[in-house]
Amino acid sequence: MDLPDSQLLLKRVVSIKAVVTQRWKDETQQLLQTQISELDGQLQQLEIQGQRAVTEIQKQSLQPPGPQVMQQIESIQTQVNQQKSELLEQKNMALQQLQQVQFLELKQEVSQGQVEGYFSVKLGDNLISKMNVEVLLHDGVVMEIRGNI
C-alpha cells in the first residue's frame, strides 16, 4: 500500500451563505408571504374540519348528548386547538423572519442553511481546515468557496 496515495472519503457539512441583494430580499419576502398565506389557509381548513366533526357527532347522538358524546367533542376540540397552536407558532416564526429580512442591509452575508458534501483526505492533510468550508452565493450564483476544498 502506497501511503502518499492512500485517501479516505469523508462527509462534511458545508455552510451556505448568501449576499443580501434587493433581488434576494424580494424573493425571500415573497417566499415568506406565500408560506404565511398557506398557513392561514391551513388554519381556516382546520377550523372547518373541526366544526364538521363536532356537528356530525352531534347529529348522530341523542339529545341531550350524553357524557360519551361530550367526551368525543372535547377530544376533537383539544386536537384542533393543539394543531392550531402548532400552525400559529409556524406563522409567528414566518412573520418574525419576514420582519428580520426587511431590516437586513444590502451586501450583508446571511446564513442560508447547510448541505452535506464529500471530500477526500490523505495523510498529512489538516482535517480541521478541510471540515470548515462554506459557499457564498450572490443571487443564487456561487461567488466564493471558503475553506480548504
Say yes or no to pLDDT of 87 above 70: yes
Q: pLDDT tens for residues 4-49?
A: 468 899 999 999 999 999 999 999 999 999 999 999 999 999 999 9
Total Cβ atoms within 10 A of residue 23: 11
Cell 447547510: give the residue: 114
- Split at pLDDT 50, 70, 90, the class of 109 is very high
d(CA 143, CA 109): 12
The C-alpha cell of 42 is what?
A: 391551513
Kindly report the pTM of this predicted structure.
0.74
The whole-number pLDDT of residue 145 equals: 95
Q: Percent of the chain at pLDDT above 70?
A: 95
Mean pLDDT of 39-61: 90
